[in-house]
A = this chain, B = another copy of it.
């Protein structure tokens, strides 16, 4: 016998001042209501209702139980309702970086959409910084060195940015051995990167910065990627873009002894007491997906 049903039934009986009345109200049979109350009383070992053959009245214990059970039941209902899958409705505003999302996020989005079709996904792709509170963003995917400390941020995967070029290019122009040698090469500059013209490297705790000021400039990682594949030069690229090509040998990582940028992929959301179910579910889908599915880590 479900305890919550028992309590709820008891409360209905009290409110309706009668077992038959409660039965009519709740749609159950008199029998069921009567038995339910009896069961509740038995499990508590206390009489909650005085019965005459004609009507019922509250026991002292019953009155106290009623008053105290009511708010608890309310809390439980609220919890249940807020968690219930039916709550996964409405709009879900997501902010995410362009190229990364096109390459790796869409699988999560589509899976989420299939599972929670009542959620209107609003995916805003941008590589600019977005104030998620101001913009009304529920959840954001970010690539950054350190996440915004005023928000909840959970790391999904590391993001390495490596210097690379095609085999054909390297064969023609040679492979630089130190960052400084990059100055003598065709460089492709992704102006989306924070410090596009200052290429930073690190070796044995020594920081090396090279100012690249000539070469093709573009603001799209995909464009950079294409140029790399077309043997146009050397560029800094996130592994999640060039990973496949590196694995297949089409592109090669150079300056491997030097550590390049080490960024992180984060999922970020506002620090509220209770996230909505749709948001929680999305966070969960993302977490799960990138636990198993970040093969660009290499």
Contact A284 B83 (CB under 8 A): no
Q: Which residues of B contact A1 (CB under 8 A)?
A: 2
**Residue from A5, A60, A284 with most neighbouring chain B CB atoms (10 Å):** A60
Chain A 66-92, CB within 8 Å of chain B: the 1/0 string? 001100100110011001111000000
| 28 pairs of residues in contact across A and B, judged by CB atoms under 8 Å | A1-B2, A2-B2, A2-B3, A3-B3, A3-B4, A44-B80, A45-B84, A45-B86, A46-B83, A46-B277, A46-B281, A50-B288, A59-B280, A60-B275, A60-B280, A60-B281, A60-B283, A60-B287, A61-B280, A64-B83, A64-B274, A64-B280, A65-B79, A68-B79, A68-B274, A72-B75, A72-B79, A75-B75
* A36 → chain B closest CB, angstroms: 13
| CA–CA, A23 and B233, complex, Å | 61
Q: Which residues of B contact A60 (CB under 8 A)?
A: 275, 280-281, 283-284, 287
Contact B85 A44 (CB under 8 A): yes
Interface size, A (range): 20 to 34
Contact A275 B2 (CB under 8 A): no
| CA–CA, A50 and B283, complex, Å | 13
A 10-66 contacts with B by CB, 8 A: 44-46, 50, 59-61, 64-65
Q: Which residues of B contact A46 (CB under 8 A)?
A: 83-85, 277, 281
Q: Which residues of B contact A64 (CB under 8 A)?
A: 83, 274-275, 280
Having A45-B85, A61-B83, A68-B274, one finds 9 other A-B pairs with CB under 8 Å, namely A3-B3, A44-B83, A45-B86, A60-B281, A61-B280, A64-B280, A65-B79, A68-B79, A72-B72
